[in-house]
Amino acid sequence: MTLIVVWMVDASAALLREKLGSANSRYRVSSVASLKDFLKTTRDSNAVAFVDRSAVDALATSNHQPTVPVVAVCDQRFSAAVSWFEAHGWLSHVVSAQMLQHPLSVELLENVISTLQRKSEPRLLDWMSNVAGRRVLLTQASNRTDRLERMTEFLGSKGVTPRIVHQIRDVAEELITNAFYDAPVAAGAVKQAIPRTQDVSLPEDDACDLIYGCSDDLVLVRVKDPFGALTRSRIVEVLSRCAHADMKVQVDETMGGAGLGLWRVFSVASFVAVSVVSNRHTEFLVGITRHKAPGLFPFAAHLFFTEATRRRFWQMWDTDSKDISIGQSVAIAILKK
């Protein structure tokens, strides 16, 4: 049985206990009020801790690094959560206080807790239960526009509002583009940024995996690339740069962009879950609620990083070409699995 350690102010703690209490008593909840009690209680390896801003500050000043997964509850805007990720390398999960009040919160919390308790790789597909959707494997970057049009038509037929369809389409386009153009560069398959106007192809066995769909409450898109080259530091650096510069950021020529697309993904989403198995795959799952709640926009960000036991090696298919010429179709090949 999972032990939930709650170190938060009374109002948020009571709400969290109420939400978890609806989960058929699958959790043991222990409330603590001090750093000493927190460190003592979290010796249980089956624990997942929930902390608020004051607890985060207390942990930071104590120089104690938590030994169990920590979910921080943020009572401010998303930019504040970004600064927490930046300042605390042990923190990979932040949920807004507004999200705790949202009907989506019970399902989200259970997905996060069960994923954190898995002994193997995270399975973000498990988060897409009760979703009507479609799945497609993309091997050519040039096919993404047609697929996005089909996604738009599908979601529209399910009664999703044009505003949310536009938002989720932008998210999907950004993630697919990253999978074809940024990920190969980060993985070392290509030595220079690939212009977005050029086509890129992936092996059929290692295609870009796209799933999209909706439920009564959510619209979701999930994109998985076969590279696993994204790092926590890269995500935090991009988000921090955008948050601190108020979107007035310089283009990062090494990756072909400024990171504004990734910032928009996190900013528009009700929740973002990222799972990276190093040198194996990177997976994004993004959800947008279909019904707007009053108050500040609810958000949640979850970063799962796993070290792979085996590494993949990639290169351009045309090994005689060291540079990408104008109009050239860039084919990526795997050397070793």
**Quick check: is 112 in a domain?**
no
For residues 89 and 86, what is the distance between their CA atoms, to the nearest angstrom?
Answer: 7
Give the CA radius of gyration of the chain.
21
> Is the pLDDT reported for residue 297 higher than 90?
no
Query: Do 133 and 96 lie in a common domain?
Result: no
User: Other CB atoms closer than 10 Å to residue 243's CB: what's the count?
Assistant: 22
**Quick check: is 119 in a domain?**
no
Query: Do 67 and 188 lie in a common domain?
Result: no
The last residue of one of the domains, among 58, 86, 101, is 101
Q: pLDDT tens digits, residue range 11-31?
A: 888 889 888 876 557 888 999
**Quick check: is 168 in a domain?**
yes
**79: domain CATH number?**
3.40.50.2300
Between the alpha carbon of residue 203 and those of residues 210, 332, 335, the distances in Å are 15, 7, 11
**216: domain CATH number?**
3.30.565.10
How many helices (H) and strands (E) the chain has is answered by 11, 14
Query: Do 239 and 314 lie in a common domain?
Result: yes
> Is the pLDDT reported for residue 233 higher than 90?
yes
- In DSSP notation, 176-218 reads HHIIIIIHHHHTTSSSSPPPTTS-EE--GGG-EEEEEEE-SSE
10 Å CB burial of residue 42 (0-12, 13-18, 19+) is: buried
Query: Do 81 and 143 lie in a common domain?
Result: no
Over the chain, what is the mean pLDDT?
A: 88
Between the alpha carbon of residue 254 and those of residues 157, 181, 184, 191, the distances in Å are 40, 11, 12, 9
For residues 17 and 221, what is the distance between their CA atoms, to the nearest angstrom?
Answer: 30
Domain hosting 86: range is 2-101
For residues 272 and 288, what is the distance between their CA atoms, to the nearest angstrom?
Answer: 9
Query: Do 78 and 204 lie in a common domain?
Result: no
How confident is the model at residue 321, as a pLDDT?
A: 53
Query: Do 147 and 291 lie in a common domain?
Result: yes
Query: Do 148 and 190 lie in a common domain?
Result: yes
Question: How is residue 39 written in tokens?
Answer: 């460190």
**Quick check: is 306 in a domain?**
yes
Single-letter code of the amino acid located at 133: G
Q: How many domains does the chain have?
A: 2
How confident is the model at residue 278, as a pLDDT?
A: 93
Query: Do 193 and 47 lie in a common domain?
Result: no
Q: pLDDT tens digits, residue range 264-291?
A: 999 999 999 999 999 999 999 999 998 7
> Is the pLDDT reported for residue 138 higher than 70?
yes
For residues 290 and 84, what is the distance between their CA atoms, to the nearest angstrom?
Answer: 28
Q: Please tell me whether residue 174 adopts helix, strand or coil conformation.
A: helix
**Quick check: is 38 in a domain?**
yes
**Quick check: is 118 in a domain?**
no
The last residue of one of the domains, among 65, 83, 101, is 101
How confident is the model at residue 329, as a pLDDT?
A: 80
Between the alpha carbon of residue 101 and those of residues 14, 51, 73, 287, 321, the distances in Å are 11, 16, 12, 17, 55
> Is the pLDDT reported for residue 51 higher than 50?
yes
Unique residue bearing structure tokens 């047609």 = 146
Query: Do 97 and 139 lie in a common domain?
Result: no
User: Other CB atoms closer than 10 Å to residue 202's CB: what's the count?
Assistant: 27
